[in-house]
Structure 1
């Protein structure tokens, strides 16, 4: 497993990435309820939206958002292909639910999933290896191989 993340709020589901697959486990029944398999390269990162209804997965060449809550059946509802800068990490924006923040090499990609538009922001001098968001402050933190942590509002 490369990364695991508990579903926010309820914590009943666990997303786990391994190779090209994101597995969704129901921790109460200890069963795999979904096997999300549309990536062509290994998945580096997974994250949940604040509602726990959607999970995003990132490989170097694509980002996928999957519907899991409120009757979602693990369907891929949004896809973004790499435009040259390899993807590495992701987090849903804490204030804008349709905005996914993607960590790349030296930059952040802000992906508006509804409009399917991206904006690139210069961010670090290396790969953005980790992102975190705070719903209470609306801030995002990025960490990179350049040994810096930056806060974004």
Structure 2
């Protein structure tokens, strides 16, 4: 249900505001500044393990790519929702939304029920990688389109970057 709501919400928005990207950049700067062990007030960030820090990077990069693809696409109003004009951008955005929402829901469940669900950065990265791979393959098979275009190539490059981050987290 949360994945469906995330996808529907994205289709209500014509474009992400610049504030969205500014907040992502500020969070990335905060995460980078947390590498220094002597920064006071950043104990939550400085205490993170490498895999947990990388999981946060995966979330920030995925949210940035989702926002970029959404803004790069042309959207036309179709009733209550917006219809995408570039389907390659939209499919990549859809895959990333699903791939990010599922492990985030699992992470939230781990916070609510810590005795029953163990979720760390490495597990988050592994789940994200599985959802990216299976969502992408399922979408290609479902639509029957496996042709390569410049848009599809750009979308594939974004997925490659996220896959590399995920592989690095699993080492």
TM-score normalised according to structure 2 size? 0.22
| Structure with the bigger percentage of strand | 1
Greater Rg over alpha carbons, structure: 2
Larger proportion of helix: 2
Provide the TM-score with structure 1 as the length reference.
Answer: 0.24
